[in-house]
């Protein structure tokens, strides 16, 4: 049969917007068949949890970068919108593709959607090829001696590492055989992913370079500059020791295999490497948790928390927390960093979450939804699991009575106030207690550079009193 008569294969891109270490693309490229490369923006199908605004901004740039990379290799990216369980079978029919290649996804709606698409494909005699590309293991493969999922991270990670080193990454195809047929594609600019009125993404553009090239530059920068000091400085928000790889992993511009092996090859000490790779392990653990708790973003893992007496969700203090105007400097610094950059330092995420849940006694789901909308790395497993961890309602969670004091955290992890002064300009002329607890100074804190000249607000809640109220509420729940 002539090459032109070979039926094409369809590669369906999702959270794997890269060409290197892409198992589905690698298998399709080595098949020799012409390829149709598809991305479906699905805001309404059974898999859909509509991406937050910050993630949509990132997605636009990541698709742009992927499209350019594919074109350099001889193929083009087809963009469609709609319910993927309908769009993908339709594209299979339009193109006459006989093979469908895709990497697995793990949220409950995503699994259901893949099952529906797979059933439709097989009913049309299309072979479906599924691969593991986004995790180091398939959820459920790592289990206790009794065959049960782990409820605690440390034994889970030990069991995961006992399976041996992850496979080596696949190389990027140097050339792709794009199918020579007129397949309709929507324009990227017409998908409506970028903010227009107003364009609030200036801080995101200053901070990030989305796409596979940007991801690898970030990885190399981390390995050479930040990894050697990661163990010592990872908890210091002003130190810039975090990898900041999370959005690249979320969108699949990097695979965890690439990160794992690059860190292993680095010249950092073995202890430092293990410390960082443990963070990849938490990502794996959270996806196991998502596999066993399908509604992780809306339902307490420990159902006893269904009885917790949350404060009124219409509380006006939610707005103050969202905008970084709580009067608690470390909390406000973190929330303003999030608003400006679409990212927040991990320790400060814990502080801001604890403040919302325990000092304001507001439902963790309010915070999870806000982070989902504003984080560029908002991930269906990690985001929900970490909010439940702070709340005490999740697996291997911090106990509820661990109420983080944001002043103590600030004096310990931002002792010079560098991080706070960067994000809370009203306090730039202060240090020590006057910076970390400005309400004790007795001075009128007139804003100098907060964008509107507003005075820095007094605390919206008394930390000591609200802590006692939270503990009392927890005891009522337990009774």
Number of H helices, E strands in the chain: 20, 5
Instruction: Out of 86, 186, 279, 299, pick the active-site residue.
Output: 279
What number of residues does the chain have? Answer: 479
Instruction: Out of 208, 321, 364, 372, pick the active-site residue.
Output: 364
Instruction: Out of 200, 310, 339, 439, pick the active-site residue.
Output: 310
CA dist., res. 386 & res. 273, Å (int): 22
Contacts of 364 (CB under 8 A, 6+ apart): 353, 356, 357, 387, 388, 390, 391, 393
396: left (phi over 0), alpha (psi -120 to 50) or beta: left
CA dist., res. 138 & res. 167, Å (int): 13
Buried-exposed string 135-150: b where 16+ CB fall within 10 A, e elsewhere: bbbebeebeeeeeebb
The SS3 assignment for 324 reads coil
The closest of 160, 365, 392, 400 to 282, measured between CA atoms, is 160
> Is 370 among the residues known to form the active site?
no
Residue 147, CB-side half-sphere exposure with 13 Å CA sphere: 0
CA dist., res. 25 & res. 37, Å (int): 9
In sequence order, what are the beta bridge partners of 129?
A: 101
> Is 343 among the residues known to form the active site?
no
CA dist., res. 401 & res. 395, Å (int): 16
Q: Encoding tokens for residue 198? A: 């107003």
Q: Would you call the peptide bond into 198 cis, given omega within 30 degrees of 0 as the criterion?
A: yes
Instruction: Out of 57, 58, 387, 389, pick the active-site residue.
Output: 387
Q: What percent helix, strand, coil does the chain show, rounded to 5?
A: 50, 5, 45
Instruction: Out of 94, 274, 299, 346, pick the active-site residue.
Output: 346
Q: Answer yes or no: are the C-beta atoms of 32 and 1 closer than 8 Å.
A: no
CA dist., res. 215 & res. 219, Å (int): 6
> Is 282 among the residues known to form the active site?
yes
Residues with catalytic roles? 279, 282, 310, 346, 364, 387
């Amino acid at each position: 049969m002539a090459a032109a008569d070979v039926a094409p294969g369809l590669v369906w891109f999702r959270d794997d917007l890269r060409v290197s270490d892409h198992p589905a693309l690698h298998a399709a490229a080595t098949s020799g068949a012409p390829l149709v490369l598809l991305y479906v923006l699905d805001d309404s199908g059974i898999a859909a949890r509509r991406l937050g605004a910050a993630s949509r901004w990132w997605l636009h740039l990541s698709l742009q970068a992927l499209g350019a990379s594919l074109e350099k290799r001889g193929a083009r990216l087809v963009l469609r919108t709609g319910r993927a369980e309908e769009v993908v079978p339709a594209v299979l029919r339009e193109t006459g593709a006989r093979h469908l290649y895709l990497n697995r996804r793990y949220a409950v709606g995503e699994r259901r959607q893949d099952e529906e698409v797979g059933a439709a494909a097989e009913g049309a005699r299309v072979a479906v090829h599924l691969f593991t590309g986004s995790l180091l293991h398939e959820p459920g493969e790592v289990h206790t001696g009794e065959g049960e999922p782990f409820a605690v991270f440390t034994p889970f990670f030990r069991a995961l590492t006992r399976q041996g080193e992850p496979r080596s990454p696949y190389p990027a195809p140097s050339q792709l055989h794009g199918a020579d047929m007129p397949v309709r594609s929507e324009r990227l600019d017409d998908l409506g992913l970028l903010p227009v009125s107003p364009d609030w993404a200036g801080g995101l553009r200053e901070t990030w370079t989305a796409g596979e090239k940007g991801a690898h530059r970030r990885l190399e920068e981390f390995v050479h500059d930040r990894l050697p000091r990661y163990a010592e400085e990872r908890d210091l928000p002003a130190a810039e020791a975090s990898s900041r790889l999370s959005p690249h992993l979320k969108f699949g511009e990097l695979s965890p295999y690439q990160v794992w092996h690059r860190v292993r090859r680095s010249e950092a000490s073995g202890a430092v490497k293990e410390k960082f790779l443990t963070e990849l392990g938490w990502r794996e653990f959270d996806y196991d948790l998502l596999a066993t708790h399908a509604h992780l973003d809306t339902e307490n893992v420990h159902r006893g928390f269904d009885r917790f007496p949350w404060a009124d969700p219409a509380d006006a203090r939610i707005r103050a927390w969202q905008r970084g105007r709580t009067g608690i400097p470390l909390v406000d610094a973190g929330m303003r960093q999030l608003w400006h950059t679409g990212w927040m330092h991990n320790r400060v995420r814990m502080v801001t979450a604890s403040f919302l849940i325990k000092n304001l006694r507001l439902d963790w789901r309010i915070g999870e939804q806000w982070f989902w909308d504003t984080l560029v790395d908002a991930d269906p497993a990690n985001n929900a699991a970490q909010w439940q961890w702070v709340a005490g309602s999740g697996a291997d969670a911090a106990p509820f009575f661990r109420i983080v004091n944001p002043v103590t955290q600030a004096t310990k992890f931002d002792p010079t106030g560098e991080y706070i002064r960067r994000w809370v300009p009203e306090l730039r002329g202060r240090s020590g207690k006057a910076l970390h607890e400005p309400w004790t100074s007795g001075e009128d804190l007139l804003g100098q550079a907060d964008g509107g000249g507003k005075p820095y607000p007094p605390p919206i809640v008394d930390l000591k009193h609200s802590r006692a109220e939270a503990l009392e509420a927890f005891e009522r729940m337990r009774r």
